[in-house]
Amino acid sequence: MNLPDDLLAGAWTVAAWLLFVPLFAVTLRQAPWRRLADTMQLNVWLGAIVALTLLWSLKAGIRPGLSLHLLGASVMVLAFGFRLAFIGLCIVLAAITLNGDAGWLGYAANALLMGGVSTAAAHLVLRFNERFLPQQIFVYIFANGFFGAALSIAATGMAASLLLAVAGVYSVDYLFGEYLPYVLLLGFSEAWLSGMIVTLFVIYRPDWVASFEDSRYLRD
In a domain, 4, yes or no: no
- Could you give the CA distance from residue 156 to residue 138 in angstroms, rounded to a whole number? 26
**pLDDT of 219 over the 80 cut:** no
* Per-residue confidence band for 67, with pLDDT thresholds at 50, 70 and 90: confident
Query: For residues 217 and 136, is the Cβ–Cβ distance under 8 A?
Result: yes
In a domain, 43, yes or no: yes
Angstrom distances, CA of residue 88 to CA of 21, 42, 75, 95, 138: 15, 11, 12, 11, 27
Domain that holds residue 171: 10-217
- Amino acid at site 64: P
Write the pLDDT tens digit of every residue in 21-64.
999 999 999 999 999 999 999 999 999 999 999 999 888 877 88
In a domain, 41, yes or no: yes
In a domain, 153, yes or no: yes
**pLDDT of 217 over the 90 cut:** no
- Could you give the CA distance from residue 163 to residue 8 in angstroms, rounded to a whole number? 9
In a domain, 45, yes or no: yes
pTM attached to this predicted model: 0.94
13-51 CB burial, b ≥16 within 10 A, e <16: beebbeebeebbeebeeebeeeebeeeebeebbeebbee
DSSP, collapsed to helix, strand or coil, labels residue 60 as strand
Q: Which of 64-73, 75-84, 85-94, 115-124 has the lowest mean pLDDT?
A: 64-73
Phi, psi of 101 (to 5 degrees): -85, -10
In a domain, 5, yes or no: no
Residue 165: give its domain's CATH number: 1.10.1760.20
Q: Please name every residue paired with 61 in a beta bridge, in sequence order, or none if there are none.
A: 67
Q: Find the DSSP H helices in the chain.
A: 10-30, 39-57, 73-80, 82-98, 107-110, 118-132, 137-139, 149-166, 172-178, 180-204, 214-217
Q: Give the pLDDT of residue 1.
A: 73
Task: Tally the C-alpha atoms within 13 A of residue 179's C-alpha that lie toward its C-beta.
Answer: 28
In a domain, 1, yes or no: no
Closest-CA residue to 114 (of 142, 85, 144, 143): 85
Q: How many domains does the chain have?
A: 1
CB-based contacts of 18, cutoff 8 Å, min separation 6: none
